[in-house]
């Protein structure tokens, strides 16, 4: 069987000309490398309409206007945690247009918005934000040679049994940490494990498992003296930690 392909307007005209000259539909199909059924439908359409062009397909009419589409986008951008059903209900109450949840998702997809799992960030007070901004401003122009003398240390807690977290947030590509797209989290459900570690451009410290409450005395005896001090000594006199 010849491979299927779509006929151009020129090929359709040639096919009708051959058929009018008495060439069989099967032979015309062989010349144009299409199935005989294609030529038969073309012949029937030409006899019914007098044209060889395909009829334009209108498709299903669009249920929302451009203004309603922008309303859907604004709702998702203003309340990132809203579900498609929530946006559908607001859109119906405001514009009196009845649509399904999939229509809402399709419109948001057209604007580049996809439902993604939000990043879990620590709740920061105004003082926390001010302190972090000041630190970044102070070190923004540091060169690689300056960072090479530093050891960055941090404690991290890992949940053993994290919550299901199937909440989704509407966001575009590159908006993972955008304001309104981060879900704040303050507790660790199901138990957790805390570890400490330090890293620099030259070395990294062993990972230390923190058991119980880490007091100032414990931090001095269990982390600073056996782990941080040797790392700073290995870097040199200009070493620093943060």
Place of tokens 């009419």: 61
Give the containing element (helix H, strand E) for 214: none
Q: Residues near 184 by Cβ (< 8 Å), separated by ≥ 6?
A: 120, 121, 122, 123
d(CA 63, CA 83): 20
Determine the Cα angle at 121 with ends 118 and 127, to 5°.
Answer: 145
Give the containing element (helix H, strand E) for 182: strand 182-184
119 - beta bridge partners? Answer: 182
pLDDT of residue 1: 39
| 26, HSE (Cβ side, Cα atoms, 13 Å) | 1
Is the Cβ–Cβ distance between 235 and 202 less than 8 Å? Answer: yes
Does residue 63 sit in helix, strand or coil?
Answer: coil
pTM for the model = 0.44
d(CA 20, CA 18): 5
d(CA 57, CA 79): 38
d(CA 238, CA 150): 8
Distances (CA, A) of 200 to 67, 73, 111: 53, 43, 41
Does residue 151 sit in helix, strand or coil?
Answer: strand
Does residue 60 sit in helix, strand or coil?
Answer: coil
pLDDT tens for the chain, residues 1 to 242: 344 567 888 888 889 999 988 899 899 998 888 888 889 888 888 888 888 777 665 667 788 999 999 999 999 999 999 999 999 999 999 988 889 999 999 999 999 999 988 887 878 889 999 999 998 998 889 888 888 888 888 888 777 655 555 678 888 888 888 888 887 765 555 567 889 999 888 888 889 998 888 888 888 899 989 988 888 888 887 777 76
Distances (CA, A) of 128 to 150, 182, 188: 22, 17, 21
């Amino acid at each position: 069987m010849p491979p299927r392909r779509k006929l151009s307007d020129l090929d359709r005209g040639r096919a009708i000309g051959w058929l009018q000259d008495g060439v069989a539909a099967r032979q015309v199909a062989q010349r144009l490398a299409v199935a005989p059924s294609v030529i038969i439908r073309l012949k029937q359409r030409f006899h019914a309409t007098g044209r060889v062009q395909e009829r334009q397909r209108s498709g299903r009419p669009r249920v929302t206007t451009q203004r309603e589409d922008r309303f859907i986008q604004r709702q998702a951008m203003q309340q990132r945690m809203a579900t498609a059903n929530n946006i559908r209900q607001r859109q119906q109450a405001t514009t009196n247009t009845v649509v399904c949840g999939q229509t809402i998702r399709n419109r948001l997809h057209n604007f580049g918005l996809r439902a993604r799992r939000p990043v879990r960030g620590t709740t920061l007070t105004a003082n926390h934000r001010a302190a972090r901004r000041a630190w970044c401003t102070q070190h923004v122009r540091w060169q690689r040679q300056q960072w090479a003398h530093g050891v960055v240390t941090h404690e991290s807690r890992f949940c053993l049994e994290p919550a299901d977290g199937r909440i989704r947030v509407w966001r575009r590509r590159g908006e993972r940490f955008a304001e309104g797209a981060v879900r704040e989290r303050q507790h660790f459900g199901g138990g957790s494990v805390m570890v400490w570690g330090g890293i620099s451009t030259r070395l990294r410290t062993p990972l230390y498992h923190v058991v119980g409450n880490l007091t100032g005395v414990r931090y001095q005896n269990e982390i600073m003296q056996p782990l941080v001090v040797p790392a700073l000594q290995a870097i040199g006199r200009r070493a620093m930690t943060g």
